[in-house]
A and B are shown apart, each in its own frame.
Chain A
């Protein structure tokens, strides 16, 4: 896909730098709104979990995990539910806007993981985790990145669907049924949160490794000195 690119002339130094417009405004907006709402959803979700930290019977109750209150949001069950039931709308809205924009603008092509990306995944994994050689960058996103971002969107959709199933197990009884029943839906909702948090962790590590110009691109849209050819 053709990306908007400029050559920046620094008259004083007499240098020319390339820059590409990598992240359109809607993508950046959704990214930051989603970052805040995901933080709130996970924090309040963990506080809600503290009210019954188990997936078994209430009697006798076997606690699975005593999550510290300091890493939870809302202070008490009712407060956490207020956060959760408020930010879920923001979370859903930013997700719908993002997916809708990506589809309508065609921008999804730079990030959606498709079949031809499959062969490129292993070389990237080998590079990141097993000190393999660095495969040449051809596009804004490498195959492993595409896989991660596409999976994250899938997890986001599942987080909403599992959440709906436990919030409305009667109105959406078919949804809870598809997930193996109310009990399983609650467990899936919990596991999907951890999967999303694992994604966020990996994402933050990569952001730290890739430096300032990469980070700034999610603020201004423009990435200076892209590793890949702009045309």
Chain B
């Protein structure tokens, strides 16, 4: 049924419909630098919150056959500073602090006493490439149990010989595939891959899997997030 109206009333009606769209202009706030930064930060924070909610300890990263492995010499090396920070392997220890019953300096031999796990998993870089590698080491959860980490703690912080630093949420640290890795492709880690000890966390993006570990701290509060996170990358970045 066609109702009748005059052209003035139609114009008013059209204008009212047009004005209803003004909320769309709110997106223009992203064009203003002062407003953009905090809004993009909260967008990223929301994505991190959602990522943490999506994380399931029971969801295992896919594992692959030995025939799917990328050759060792095709495994990219991404250091943020140097490929070899010159770690003195004879004197090296992992210094454990924070909410643990047995803080102190742990040698590689003490870590290697823990059951050794080997897994072929995909290493995904934030840049977009990925590679399937073989990683062996002790479960981080076993190590946390050995040092008597407070089960109610929320964060595991690590520091590295090249001054890199990272953090893991406790749920990820306790994941069965999260390793304190000391071997790749069945051989002790080489300097450019993080010798003598690195993280291998197949449920996380590459930059969270720190190399050349020197310090590990268990805490209730997240204080230092990570080197790349401080440059503006995602804090949680779980895969």
Interface residues of chain A, those whose CB is within 8 Å of chain B, are 5-11, 17-19, 25, 28-29, 32-33, 36, 40, 48-49, 51-52, 54, 57-59, 61, 77-79, 81-83, 85-90, 167-171, 173, 177, 182-183, 186, 216, 219-222, 230-231
Contacts and interface: CB of A to CB of B under 8 A. Distances in A.
A25 B2 contact: no
Contacts of A173: 59, 61-62
The 6 closest A-B pairs by CB, nearest first: A86-B43, A52-B128, A58-B129, A78-B232, A51-B127, A85-B47
B10 A6 contact: yes
A43 to B, nearest CB: 12
A221 B16 CA distance: 10
B14 A222 contact: yes
A156 to B, nearest CB: 18
Contacts of B73: 59
Contacts of B129: 52, 54, 57-58, 61
Interface of B: 1-7, 10, 13-15, 17-18, 20-21, 23-24, 27, 30, 39-44, 46-47, 51, 54-56, 59-62, 70, 73-76, 122, 124-131, 202-203, 228, 231-234, 238-239
A81 B233 contact: yes
Contacts of B131: 57-58
B234 A182 contact: no
Given A7-B5, A58-B76, A220 B14 contact: yes
Contacts of A171: 54-56, 59, 238-239
A85 B234 contact: yes
A186 to B, nearest CB: 7
B238 A170 contact: yes
Nearest to B16: A220
Contacts of A11: 6-7
A216 B13 CA distance: 13
B239 A168 contact: yes
Q: Is the interface of A mostly helix, strand, loop or mixed?
A: helix
Contacts of A17: 7
A5 B238 contact: no
Contacts of A19: 10
A170 B203 contact: yes
Nearest to B60: A170
A61 B125 CA distance: 14
Contacts, number: 152
Contacts of A36: 24, 27
A78 B203 contact: no
Contacts of A28: 17, 20-21
A8 B9 CA distance: 9
In this complex, which of A86, A88, A216 has the most chain B Cβ atoms within 10 angstroms of its Cβ?
A86
Nearest to A33: B24
28 contacts: A6-B2, A29-B20, A29-B23, A33-B27, A48-B128, A58-B76, A58-B131, A59-B75, A78-B231, A79-B40, A79-B232, A81-B234, A82-B41, A82-B44, A85-B44, A86-B39, A86-B43, A86-B46, A87-B43, A89-B46, A168-B238, A168-B239, A170-B59, A170-B202, A170-B239, A173-B59, A220-B15, A222-B10
Nearest to A224: B10
Contacts of B124: 169, 182
A7 to B, nearest CB: 5
Given A6-B4, A219-B18, A82 B43 contact: yes
Contacts of A219: 17-18, 21
B47 A86 contact: yes
Contact of B17 (A82, A183, A220): A220
